[in-house]
Amino acid sequence: MSGIDVLITGLCSFVPCPSLQEKPDEMIVLLVESYNPVPGHLGHHHGQHELHVPVLVCPEKYVVRGGRLRLPDMTFQPTPYPGNQDSEDVMAVFYLDDQDITIKPDANTELEVELTPVKNCTGSQSSFNWVTPIEEVNPGAETVRDSCFASPGDSSVISRVYLRQGKITTAKLATNLERKILLWKFEEADRADSYGPSESKPKEGRAIAAVVGAHFDLDEEQGIEFTTHLLHNHSSNRRVETVFAHAPGKQLRIRIEPTDNYRKIWIKNVPWPDILQVRNLRNPKRDDHFAHIYKLSKNSASVAKKVPYTKGETCLGDSGFDNRHGAGTDCPHALMKR
């Protein structure tokens, strides 16, 4: 068994159905819209904000062509850099704006979520428990509005990915440029970098997931199919509008068959420099973009917009593979509930 990994990163929230305690048979990934400012979030200067774009990315040679299969919207050649463990092949990009995405591997398996207990820096790096639990870091903001799961869908959700098979793990923790695992704290943006509004001593930081993976056990000759379905009658992305204009039922399939040992497919909701792997890397301090997550909350108007920040404190060891979205531009994920 070689397997295929679908790696998810960027501005998104994971919603297990039912809850993790009840052994979910579905994990819904809500990719959050970032066009509009976050209401009440004073620390977020939207004029300086980078737009996050939802895409599927994989080596172009993996894409199966023919029949009614969907073709890439664009391709790019990654820029080589020292320590690259990502693919150096020409990469295919599919726009995922305003779409529902379901994943069907050639071999059926049950959904499994790796839930080894973790605390701060200790425990299995692959545990899904590293995904930031909103219920813990910002109580009252953890429940997603029903409209985010409806059809045609809530305007705060730009894409939805449905995971119903495979093993879900943390594929990479958020790191600094040296790949050391960072400790993060959560506070409202105008109080971040301080002890918080009423604390006399620093909070205890925690490691957080930056890439979540869904692993599918497949033989080398097997592949995986993504069904993309337009959420609305029209899309804000003109290319998506054109692609789906004559699609039966506003639905198209993408078929991926890996032909080498890389065997990774990315779903990203990140700015273009991270999609194209040309980011001028830096050590992170805080992620104001995380505040967009609260658009999904039933209490979005009233909850504090707490964001992750770091003083640069690290754990022992490093975290997973090196890639251009994996150092200095990590976007923490969120765990929420229905």
Q: In the structure encoding, which two tokens stand for residue 117, read together? A: 């207990």
Alpha-carbon distance of 110 to 326, in angstroms, equals 29
Other beta carbons within 10 Å of 301: 9
pLDDT score, position 283: 79
Domain housing 211: 4-335
Q: Is 249 helix (H, G, I), strand (E, B) or coil?
A: helix
E-strand ranges in the chain read: 4-10, 12-17, 26-32, 53-59, 74-76, 91-95, 99-105, 111-113, 132-133, 157-163, 166-173, 180-182, 185-188, 209-216, 224-230, 251-256, 264-270, 306-309, 314-318, 334-335
pLDDT at position 334 over 90? yes
Number of domains present in the structure of the chain? 1
**Residue range 139-196, pLDDT digits in tens:** 999 999 999 999 888 999 999 999 999 999 999 888 887 888 888 999 886 665 544 4
Q: Is residue 41 a contact partner of residue 291, using CB atoms and an 8 Å limit?
A: yes
pLDDT at position 72 over 90? yes
pLDDT score, position 319: 67
pLDDT at position 54 over 80? yes
Q: Is residue 237 a contact partner of residue 20, using CB atoms and an 8 Å limit?
A: no
Characterize the bridge pairing of strands 111-113 and 99-105. unpaired
Mean pLDDT of the chain: 86
Closest to 268 measured CA to CA, from 256, 257, 255, 277: 277
Residues 6+ apart with CB under 8 A from 324: 78, 81, 84, 86, 274, 277, 278, 279, 281
- HSE-CB of 13 using CA atoms within 13 angstroms: 31
pLDDT at position 282 over 50? yes
The mean-pLDDT minimum among 15-19, 71-75, 165-169, 228-232 falls in 228-232
pLDDT score, position 140: 95
Q: Is residue 224 a contact partner of residue 198, using CB atoms and an 8 Å limit?
A: no
Q: Give the whole-number percent of the chain exceeding pLDDT 90.
A: 53
* pTM for this predicted structure: 0.92
Length of the chain: 338
pLDDT at position 43 over 70? no
pLDDT confidence tier of residue 232, bands split at 50, 70 and 90 = confident
pLDDT confidence tier of residue 200, bands split at 50, 70 and 90 = very low
Closest to 334 measured CA to CA, from 151, 138, 168: 138
pLDDT confidence tier of residue 201, bands split at 50, 70 and 90 = very low
Q: Is 226 helix (H, G, I), strand (E, B) or coil?
A: strand
**CA 291 → CA 13, 48, 101, 210, distances in Å?**
12, 14, 24, 16
**Residue range 32-42, pLDDT digits in tens:** 999 888 876 55
Q: What is the mean pLDDT of residues 38-58?
A: 73
Q: In the structure encoding, which two tokens stand for residue 225, read together? A: 């199919």
**CA 149 → CA 28, 29, 141, 155, distances in Å?**
9, 10, 17, 11
pLDDT score, position 190: 61
pLDDT score, position 274: 86
The mean-pLDDT minimum among 39-43, 134-138, 232-236, 321-325 falls in 321-325
pLDDT confidence tier of residue 29, bands split at 50, 70 and 90 = very high
pLDDT score, position 195: 45
Closest to 266 measured CA to CA, from 33, 53, 16: 53
